[in-house]
Amino acid sequence: MANVLAYLRRLTRWIYWRIDIASPRSGPLRAICCLGRWEVTTGDLSQAGDYLRHMWRAALRQIPKDARIRKVLLLGLAIGDLVEILGQRYPACRILAVDYDPAVADLAERIGLFRKNPKLRFLLGDARDVVPRLQEKFDLVLVDIFSNTGPAAILEQEDFLKQISQTVSPRGWLLFNVYQRAELLALMGKFLSAWRIWLFRHNHLGLYRPPGNGLIGEPLPQGFVHPRQLGAYLASENETNIRTYPVQNGSRESIGWRHGPFRFEEYVGDEKPELPPGPPHRAVLWQPLARKDRPRGWFPLHGPLSERLGGFAELSADQDYWQRWTEHAQRHRRRWLLERRRYPIVGLEPEQFVSAFQKAPRLPQDQKKKITRRLAVRGRYFGENLKIWGATVADTGEVIGGLAVVDLPEISQSVHLAAFLLPEGNACSAGIGLIDHWYDASIKRGLRFLNFGLFWVPGEPREWQGFSRFKSQFGVHFLRYPRGLWRIV
């Protein structure tokens, strides 16, 4: 009989259940369940309901399906609709929810929110006090902090928004709901890159990521100079028999070349080239780095970098560089440190690197020839600044993995040229060991940036995807190049 009564009570509450709570923080709080669906209001403001459920589902769809969402921070719990939605979209995620209103916590307890979601952890407290004390980083942060009249006043404080931005992991996402206070989105944009700003019926929302995730137009770190802004490096990229000649454009270095009766010049950087008119007539190619506008007289170009993805890491001598690597890379680095006496890393001659490189599996023969030619050209241009290392077997001296880079001390940068790994090297994490050696050597030399070159983007050969995934583990700042430009002078 008791079971029947309990069932009837649950059924009755599923059909219709109204809860009124006097909140000292938010004022009168009314929650109504009708046919299993909840609506929560405080004054004239809706805190939960069908409209907000549709809004958050649409907002989460803006995040790519392959995003790795394991830890979520929810600032503003309401009745917990977002907890259910997050659990459906990211079943493996763990959620930390923060709310300052004890009435909200009481309501969530009465409807069984905490009992039904074992991966939910709840903190009762003011976000101004809780957020600065958080030590962990989150893959997804949702900011939904409201009073009974609209977005909470603390969202107008830049210091608080900065603290929220610091809880987002380097590859994480932040969703910001500001209702009709669209100006608050610009404040968050001071600390994170705005990937999308949109209006869902009545609500303004923003999707953000930390800088360095490949958004076109993001400002570059102070002091960063692209290698192709050096005339010598541009010339060294010419692996054909076309003759190039240096071009000086104010303080900028570049190169020019002739192809039959035609002349060409190439410039890289956000400063518009100053091109005095007059003979000889020539075609000028310009690749901006963060600039998105198109000055008058310039035309779009599908150039060698246009809309591709590059990446570099910024070095700092006062912190452990590997702390910015992924957990996977850190784990393999620890494994490598245990094995490095059996597989020491030594300097190689280009011939030794090429000989071992030819044994690399799954690399097309034409790719091997291209890399061999590239090393020969870079060696002629940069001499001792071409660094080649190999992971070897201590007993036999056999090379099981290799890495070639070129140091450019004039721009405090080292540039990745080529790498390979044989099966035995893969078994002992020699690939991670070589990258670790590169980091360590560059810091000792006083360099500031490691340039990992280009990364795979959709439309390129899928064979490149694996190596791009490997390189992306090392705290890389991604740079997505804007469309290149050209004009006739």
**CATH number of domain containing 190:** 3.40.50.150
How confident is the model over 474-482, as a mean pLDDT? 94
**19 part of a folded domain:** no
Q: Are 57 and 113 part of one and the same domain?
A: yes
pLDDT at residue 366 in the model: 75
Q: Are 290 and 344 part of one and the same domain?
A: no
Q: Are 423 and 362 part of one and the same domain?
A: yes
**478 part of a folded domain:** no
In contact, 195 and 176? CB cutoff 8 Å: no
Cβ burial 34-62 (10 Å sphere, 16+ → b, else e): eeeebbbbbeeebbbbeebbebbeebbee
CA angle 53/59/62 to nearest 5° reads 150
Crossing angle of helices 350-357/365-382, nearest 10°? Answer: 170
In contact, 449 and 477? CB cutoff 8 Å: no
Q: Across 13-27, 64-78, 245-259, which has the greatest mean pLDDT?
A: 64-78
**How many domains is the chain built from?**
3
Q: Are 279 and 321 part of one and the same domain?
A: no
318 pLDDT higher than 80: no
305 pLDDT higher than 70: no
150 pLDDT higher than 90: no
Q: How far apart are CA 377 and CA 23, in angstroms?
A: 73
Which pTM value belongs to this model?
0.83
Express each pLDDT in 230-239 by its tens digit: 888 888 877 5
Domain of 359, in residue numbers = 316-447
**350 part of a folded domain:** yes
**28 part of a folded domain:** no
pLDDT at residue 462 in the model: 83
Instruction: Identify the residue whose tokens are 């310039």.
Output: 298
Q: Are 133 and 262 part of one and the same domain?
A: no
How confident is the model over 251-278, as a mean pLDDT? 83
Q: Are 159 and 281 part of one and the same domain?
A: no
Q: Are 424 and 336 part of one and the same domain?
A: yes
When the pLDDT of each residue in the chain is averaged and rounded to a whole number, the result is: 86
**465 part of a folded domain:** no
Residue 300 CB neighbour total at 10 angstroms: 12
Q: Are 188 and 267 part of one and the same domain?
A: no
- Assign residue 381 the CATH number of its domain: 3.40.630.30
Instruction: Identify the residue whose tokens are 């241009």.
Output: 381
Q: How far apart are CA 346 and CA 388, in angstroms?
A: 9
How confident is the model over 163-176, as a mean pLDDT? 96
pLDDT at residue 288 in the model: 93
**34 part of a folded domain:** no
**8 part of a folded domain:** no
Q: Are 146 and 260 part of one and the same domain?
A: no
Q: How confident is the model at residue 22 (pLDDT cuts 50, 70, 90)?
A: low
Chain center to CA of 106: 38
Q: Are 61 and 195 part of one and the same domain?
A: yes
Q: How far apart are CA 96 and CA 85, in angstroms?
A: 14
In contact, 240 and 335? CB cutoff 8 Å: no
Q: Are 191 and 259 part of one and the same domain?
A: no
Asked which of 39-43, 319-323, 430-434 is least confident by mean pLDDT, the reply is 39-43
pLDDT at residue 46 in the model: 61
**165 part of a folded domain:** yes
Q: Are 204 and 137 part of one and the same domain?
A: yes
